[in-house]
Amino acid sequence: MFLENAKRSGWIEVIVGSMFSGKTEELIRRLRRAQFANQKVEIFSPQIDTRYSQDSVVSHDSNSIRSTPVSSSGNILLLSSDVDVVGIDEAQFFDMGLVDVCNDMANSGIRIIVAGLDMDYRGKPFGPIPNLLAVAEYVTKVHAICVRCGNLAHHSHRFTDNDKLVVLGEKEAYEPLCRHCYNEVVKRR
């Protein structure tokens, strides 16, 4: 009887880190566990990110899970009725409305799991991620390994000559660097 009267509680989990740190892998792992528990799961990704697939979230290790590409955060709210868990990948590419969307869903009893870059290639906070970190109940920061020295990396260094904020790419354009190696590279520019 107690469980019947209990109000379903939602919350926000945010997984952040640099490129190649395992953010998407961790997102997929959590979403698969929810599916295994027979929870209704819906996954969203930004329409702009077509590096691996149009209709799946795919990790660098080629693990994948079906997703719905959307053009704005408002579409997530419209498409996530009657679900227990919502996953959002590459959250840094969404508009600032994502914070309100996640709060609204969590307030209605949905578990929200968001993954994204916490910093852009310049080492600055990226998109809605800082605000999501502020309102999240759970935050996980994952790290890559610095390709130059082997320390923990938390910078996504872009080594191409493009100064646009958003440049989709992988190992041909980005490398994970630790603080020391990143600062050394920036000094030489």
Annotation says 13 is catalytic: no
Is this structure's pTM higher than 0.75?
A: yes
Q: pLDDT at position 63, please?
A: 62
Q: pLDDT at position 1, please?
A: 39
C-alpha 151/C-alpha 128 separation (Å) is: 28
How far is Cα of residue 30 from the mean position of the Cα atoms in its chain? 13
How far is Cα of residue 42 from the mean position of the Cα atoms in its chain? 15
Please state, as a whole number, how many other Cβ atoms lie within 10 Å of the Cβ of residue 152.
15
Q: pLDDT at position 173, please?
A: 79
Asked if residue 45 lies in contact with residue 71, where contact means CB atoms within 8 angstroms, the answer is no
Q: pLDDT at position 47, please?
A: 81
CA-closest candidate to residue 58, choices 115, 9, 104, 8: 115
Strands 11-17 and 138-142: parallel
Which residues of the chain, if any, have pLDDT below 70?
1-7, 49-65, 166-172
Kindly list the structural domains of the chain, giving each domain's residue range(s) and its CATH number in brackets, ordered by start.
Answer: 2-143 (3.40.50.300)
How far is Cα of residue 18 from the mean position of the Cα atoms in its chain? 10
Q: How many CA atoms lie within 13 A of 14 on its CB side?
A: 23
Please enumerate in sequence order all residues whose Cβ is within 8 A of that of 167, keeping only pairs 6 or more positions apart, or say none. 121, 158, 160, 173
Single out the catalytic residue among 26, 42, 90, 175: 90
Q: pLDDT at position 134, please?
A: 98
Indicate the SS3 state at residue 137: coil
Task: Tell me the helix, strand and coil percentages in the chain, rounded to 5.
Answer: 30, 30, 45
Please enumerate in sequence order all residues whose Cβ is within 8 A of that of 161, keeping only pairs 6 or more positions apart, or say none. none
Q: pLDDT at position 126, please?
A: 95
